Amino acid sequence: MGRTAYDFDTYAHKDLRRYIKNFVLPKPPLGQVNPFSPLKPSNVKADVLNGKSHENEGLCVRHEERRVLEKITPFKTSDLDIKRWLDSNIPAKPYKNLAKDHRYNLPTVLSDLWVNVQSEIESMAPWLCLPLVTATRVVHSVYSAQTTAAFSRQHIPPSDPLYDKHDSSRFRYFTWASEGEEDPDDRHASLIVAYQTPYTLSYSDMQAFVSCKSFPAFDESTKDILSAKYRLWGKVWDTCRAWKSNFFVLTNYTHWVFGFFSEGGREAFVSEIVGYNSSSLTILELLTYWVVSSLNIEGTLNRPRVYEPIDADVDMEVASNEMIPRAPRSESAWPGQNEEPGQSAVEDLDTLLSGEGSARDRREMQAQVQDWLQTCRQAQHRRLDEDDLQAPIMPEFELELLEFIPNQPLGEWMVVS
């Protein structure tokens, strides 16, 4: 028999693992077929919508050079061995009873949620609260020492850089974050749960989303030309980067997709589409596993290592007001060591920083220059002439062309008198 979010206090405290395994979401209403709807389903069902809505073509997402998503890799949730982890780590008896937390409040009435006609996105929140609040209670029951965060619906104010009045009616999200993570300059959430209405994000739209292989490379000439699936990927990418989150969930309530990004955001991994009434892995099982994975709980999802270039510029300049540590003075017992030129560490530091070199370096350089000038005045090789310019000296004949050494026989012994 299926268990609902309202059964947590009754059944979860008896056997938490069994409750998660038997969790079900309420079936959404069918609604009425809208003759102006672009979906035009041939056989209207609660979990199947034929055709694309094209609503996401209205998302205000442009091609930007900063957004680089080179590869999107699909995976199957069955390959993650989620059930084995849940069986090993979710106990029958929860460790803590947190029944009186205000964050666990559930809606008493569910608003209308039409799956085949246009509806207000506000109506989505009560339906999504059921699995999200329940997942919060499960995580707190087992890992209360590791996290006190919870899911919270984000209301983006007009003053926020993420606010867009056009997109707010099509795309919204919950974050798994601690209370007080509201500063636009210092946001952090371990998991983003983005949602759209079933009318905006139809089943076909979701299929197009998970079938993407990469995000188009930036092109100045076509930066405003993006199809609906790429605009949705851009919106998910932007939201995750803004909140410094690598894990995400995308849902229209009837269908769910689970995914994560590499550390630099250049590669994404996305699951198959999971129905709201899935029994092989319930939505609550997947949500619980995704939350604890985003928290880096031991034994959970280990993201593949992706080698990515460092995009951020590293400032190597020392600020003018920074204090440069000075070398200590020499404590050598040799009398007068500090007074001799070039023997003081402090003096060497001053001269090196000034660009003039140390006193010892200048003294040695003067002697080297004098030696070099002396060798130039006593050159023993003949000077170059115009013949050398016409026929450069070859290395193998260089010894033959050397001038005879002065005060040595000049070959008179070869002359026959």
Q: Mind listing the pLDDT tens digit for each residue in 86-112?
A: 999 998 877 665 557 778 889 888 887
Q: What per-residue confidence (pLDDT) applies to 335?
A: 52
pLDDT in tens, 79-92: 899 999 999 999 88
Q: Which residue has the tokens 């559930």?
A: 106
Query: From CA 382, how far away is CA 402, in angstroms rounded?
Result: 7
- Asked if residue 209 is part of any domain, the answer here is yes
Amino acid type, 359: A
Residue among 114, 105, 120, 138 nearest 15 (CA): 138
Do the domain assignments include residue 389? no
- Residue with structure tokens 């930036």? 218
Say if residues 142 and 97 touch (Cβ distance below 8 Å): no
pLDDT for res 42: 38
In this predicted structure, the answer to whether residue 19 has a pLDDT above a threshold of 70 is yes
> Higher model confidence: residue 124 or residue 412?
124
pLDDT for 354 beyond 60: no
Considering its fold, how many domains does the chain have in total? 1
For residue 10, pLDDT over 50 is answered with yes
125: which residues sit within 8 A by CB, 6+ positions away? 153
Q: What percentage of the chain reaches a pLDDT higher than 90?
A: 38
Q: Band of the pLDDT at 225, cuts 50, 70, 90?
A: confident
Region 199-222: mean pLDDT is: 87
342 domain residue, yes or no: no
Whether residue 309 lies inside any domain: the answer is no
Higher pLDDT, 182 or 367: 367
What average pLDDT does the segment 252-275 reach? Answer: 95
The predicted structure's pLDDT at residue 117: 73
Is there a domain that residue 28 lies in? no
184 inside domain: yes
For residue 3, what is the DSSP state?
Answer: B
What's the sign of the alpha-carbon dihedral 19, 21, 25, 30? Answer: negative
How high is the mean pLDDT of the chain? 78
Neighbours of 100 (CB within 10 A): 6
CA distance 45 to 30: 7
The answer, yes or no, to whether residue 415 has pLDDT greater than 70, is: no
In a domain, 183, yes or no: yes
* Residue 253 contacts residue 273 (beta carbons within 8 Å): no
pLDDT digits (tens, 9 = 90+) for 174-194: 999 987 655 666 789 999 999
**What pLDDT score does 38 carry?**
41
Domain housing 129: 59-295
Q: Does some domain include residue 128?
A: yes
Query: What is the structure's pLDDT at 45?
Result: 40
CB atoms closer than 10 angstroms to residue 392: 7
Instruction: Output 285 or 147, whichever has higher pLDDT.
Output: 285
